[in-house]
Structure 1
């Protein structure tokens, strides 16, 4: 039983790291806003990649982030074929669920920096390549 508790505690700590880093990348926003923005980007990535790639990517996320990633997913509607930057950023903005004050491009850039710190570089590159080339400049590397 202790091993299970340790796993949960480790994942809560890792999720807190992701939220703190997201907050810092976005100028010190509060945890609730960091949570919403992290969820919005993870779900937009999920909706753009193939089902198989979504599973590979999600396997590297902390368990709680994986929950955000899969929340409300409709695999039969994946992958979305957003063709341009505007459609993609609008998808993020729609998922942020706020009063419109968040900048979806700033949010995407910030969360991608956090993802890049914690996910295997090869996996990040595969996900990036499933996005339109006009989006690649938003990725940190």
Structure 2
């Protein structure tokens, strides 16, 4: 038991570390901080490209800390975004990630999708993927979708 009797916080910290460590291993980056920044950038771009109902359903399967980052700065009145191109998606992620040695663009974005695919139910993954514009949907590794 936690010394502060706040097991929910201990649990979300543990789950967040699991998500970040899985991504860090997939992309082979030494920095958990950079991996978390990449995950956050991709998740917030996904959030801004899907309908609000899907945003809520996806977030319900995230650890509390990741869910907080997912919603931080969200402006529902301007989402889903009207610019739904892959180029805009990539540039927005790159602007949030900043200068990270070894960043490989699409490959690392796909690694975030694969990590999400390992952590979120197949049904929700299919719904989110189908809500994304086709140009962005193509980033999602199809082998993470359980028969999609």
| TM-score over 0.5 for the pair | yes
What pairs up with 1:96-107 in 2 under 5 angstroms?
Answer: 96=97, 98-99=98-99, 101=101, 102-107=103-108
Cα offsets for 1:22-44 (capped at 9, x unmatched): 11111133011011101101100
Structure 2: which 5+ runs fail to align? 143-148
For the residues of structure 2 that align with 1:43 and 1:21, how far apart are their CA atoms?
Answer: 19
CA contact (8 A) 1:93 1:103 kept: no
Structure 1: which 5+ runs fail to align? none
For the residues of structure 2 that align with 1:4 and 1:72, how far apart are their CA atoms?
Answer: 30
Aligned length: 140
Greater helix fraction, Structure 1 or Structure 2: 1
1:64 alignment counterpart: 65
Cα shift at 1:87 = 1.5
- Please report the TM-score for the alignment, with normalisation by the length of structure 1: 0.90
When the two chains are superposed, the root-mean-square deviation of aligned CA atoms in Å is 2.0
For the residues of structure 1 that align with 2:51 and 2:75, how far apart are their CA atoms?
Answer: 12
Show structure 1 runs of 4+ deviating over 3 A: 1-4
1:54 alignment counterpart: 55
- Please report the TM-score for the alignment, with normalisation by the length of structure 2: 0.86
